Structure 1
Amino acid sequence: MAMRGKESENGVYEFPYMKPPQRSAWESFRTGCYDSKNGTVLGRNGKSWAQILFFYLIFYAVLAALFSICMKGLLSTIDEREPKWKMDSSLIGNNPGLGFRPISNRTEEGSLIWFNSRNATSIQKWVGFTEDFMQPYREASTGKNRVICDFDKMPTGDQVCHVDLDKFGACGPKNHYGFNSSSPCIFLKLNRIFDWVPDYYDDPKNLPENMPQQLKDKIVGLPPSQRKQVWVSCIGEHPADKEHVSQFEYLPSQGFPSYYYPYRNAPGYLSPIVAVQIRQPTPNVLINIECRSWAKNINYRGGNQREGSVRFEIMRDI
């Protein structure tokens, strides 16, 4: 029998309030999951669930198709071997930076190399950092496209030049990279820039005035065929630092040879490295050292906006 309301004076029907049935929390949860009376699951019947699933199936299928088309278009513009933007067109530009190793993994030490040549723990710490840096060079000692290069034997095709770790002499692993002596070694490496070709200082009559005399004498004393190198030099950064360190030995040479350039992402390529042995720095003194790379197309700038050089500190306890 249908419920009839009471008509008020203004013609509006008023129906009596019906209190909803009381349900326990479990009954409310169970009914929300499945309502046997109305045949719904989570508030939807079979037809409603089919409609919404069909909608989302079409929606995500279209979305996946659009994403695939965009990715296909993007990947078609990318070369796995060669970057699209190079040299001046790229974000990194055409001025390679100079880096050094070893470097501590502790943020508070920054670029400081602080060691005690008589303490086994201190020696092993810096030997370990150096070994981590050298690991790719040891693993790449052999390879089908790896060849021994020289100034009269340049690599061809996909060949890459071998970096011979045996030529580091006193800066090799057998000597603990110098950290067990008064003359530790650091390693310099230029950042890779695709297709960058150095413009060498190979003419003894056309060398920069601010180039260290030791390096000038080195270039003059080499045969013309061996002068095509990106030269490096290290000095004490300030006059006080120069008083505490003045001698540096460079192995296997004082530069990065021309046969490693240009870098074109050939499989197995490894950047050349130069070992710098810091000869007997004054103990118990913090010494600032700056190392610089020399090529006509490497811009140099010191200070905070450093280009073409790298700065670090060294301190030897005794």
Structure 2
Amino acid sequence: MHAMDKREEKGGINYSFPYMKEANTNTWWENVQLAVYNPNERAFLGRTRKSWAQIIFFYLVFYAGLTALFSICMKGLLSTISETEPKWKLDASLIGTNPGVGFRPLSDRTEEGSLIWYDAKNKTQVTKWVNLINEFLELYLENENIPGGVRNQVQCDFQRRPGDGQVCAVNVGSWAPCTPSANYSYDHSSPCFFLKLNKIYGWVPDFYDDPNDLPEEMPPDLKEYIRNSTAEERRQVWITCSGESPIDKELLGPNGIRYIPTHGLPEYYFPYTNTPGYLSPLIAVQIVRPPLNRIINIECRAWAKNIIYVGSQRDRQGSVHFELMID
């Protein structure tokens, strides 16, 4: 056998094979030291200096190229996006052109859902709902915290409209008795809640401002209100609330709901264009002395020609539903 090296030793013949790996007689600690630095191969952590230089150079070039590509893509994307307005608006957007109606207060307990339930004689329960409304109205009551400040806010009415770069202030002083100092009348069993339209950039209402062209389903009291208003005052998104069922309507009574300060959201608050200092207009609605220990289902609806109304609980549009119960 030509690959065999025969050597005679005392006690016999030893056959050695050059391709056989020598047994590792190092201790555990010696193996650890060799793994960190091998002096025979001049290798640190299994790589020589040349190998480390090659791999570091490769990853530097690789990540520099990756960073440059990512930066170019982000720059291209951001160049198509405005910081002040959405890229896709109105019909082209996911939100669409049909604003929803929101109400406050909303319970902080999931199991209560849209139910406002409290005992008017229980100070703790009254305080809970008052605090929820205060939290919602924080920017209205303490307007120095408004993003962008109040420098763009001006007092508006139907004769005074906001100029370029200006927005109309919301007059919180006109909400009495739905004010923090009066506990929003919760301790008098005549609670207030607040309604607003969800903001849609660039949306302009198509008003019901012609007394001779009002929908049949519009409540008679709102029709009368519109007829008695001036031409300028008719240009509002009207809001109405009522009991959902005939029983709920009977529980509220003919004069059981007050709208403060007006029956609608005036034209000069629209459109929303993300101008700094803008706050959504609100209507305070007071339920005047509802019967105790009864759940009353209430629906509030927004009225404009381009607001689609769907009263279904599964696909509600243009309206909001909640329940009220006072012990």
Aligned pair in 2 of structure 1 residues 250, 22: CA closer, same or farther (>3 Å)?
farther
Pairwise CA distance, 1:24: 4.0
Identity, in percent, stands at 52
**Residue number among 296, 306, 312 corresponding to 2:316 in the alignment:** 306
Q: 1:236-279 deviations in whole A, cap 9, x for unaligned?
A: 11222222223210111111110001111111111100001011
Pairwise CA distance, 1:204: 1.1
CA RMSD in angstroms comes to 1.9
1:286 paired with 2:295, answer yes
**Residue number among 51, 55, 71 corresponding to 2:54 in the alignment:** 51
Q: 1:52-86 deviations in whole A, cap 9, x for unaligned?
A: 11111111111111111111111111111121211
1:80 paired with 2:77, answer no
- Distance in 2, matches of 1:268 and 1:42, equals 60
1:113 paired with 2:113, answer no
Max Rg structure: 2
- Distance in 1, matches of 2:257 and 2:118, equals 18
Amino acid at match of 2:246: P
- Distance in 1, matches of 2:187 and 2:27, equals 78
- Distance in 2, matches of 1:214 and 1:120, equals 35
Pairwise CA distance, 1:138: 2.2
Q: Which moved more, 1:159-168 or 1:24-33?
A: 24-33
**Residue number among 33, 38, 45 corresponding to 1:35 in the alignment:** 38
Aligned pair in 2 of structure 1 residues 26, 242: CA closer, same or farther (>3 Å)?
farther
Q: Match of 2:168?
A: 161
Structure 1 unaligned blocks of 5 or more: 8-12
Aligned residues: 310
Q: Match of 2:257?
A: 248
Matches within 5 A, 1:196-275: 196-246=203-253, 247-275=256-284
Pairwise CA distance, 1:27: 3.3
- Distance in 2, matches of 1:28 and 1:105, equals 62
Pairwise CA distance, 1:6: 6.4
Aligned pair in 2 of structure 1 residues 283, 5: CA closer, same or farther (>3 Å)?
farther
Aligned pair in 2 of structure 1 residues 279, 24: CA closer, same or farther (>3 Å)?
farther
- Distance in 2, matches of 1:265 and 1:210, equals 34
Q: Give the structure-2-normalised TM-score.
A: 0.90
Amino acid at match of 2:297: N
Structure 2 SS opposite 1:180: helix
Structure 2 unaligned blocks of 5 or more: 7-15
- Distance in 2, matches of 1:123 and 1:24, equals 76
1:316 paired with 2:326, answer yes
Pairwise CA distance, 1:23: 4.0
1:179 paired with 2:186, answer yes
- Distance in 2, matches of 1:200 and 1:207, equals 10
- Distance in 2, matches of 1:223 and 1:35, equals 95
**Residue number among 106, 126, 137 corresponding to 1:123 in the alignment:** 126
- Contact 1:5/1:16 (<8 A) preserved: no
Pairwise CA distance, 1:108: 1.4
Matches within 5 A, 1:88-103: 88-103=91-106
- Contact 1:188/1:273 (<8 A) preserved: yes
Amino acid at match of 1:148: Q
- Distance in 1, matches of 2:279 and 2:40, equals 73
Structure 1 SS opposite 2:133: helix
- Contact 2:151/2:277 (<8 A) preserved: no
**Residue number among 71, 76, 92 corresponding to 2:74 in the alignment:** 71
Amino acid at match of 2:158: F
**Residue number among 147, 153, 173 corresponding to 1:146 in the alignment:** 153
Amino acid at match of 2:180: P
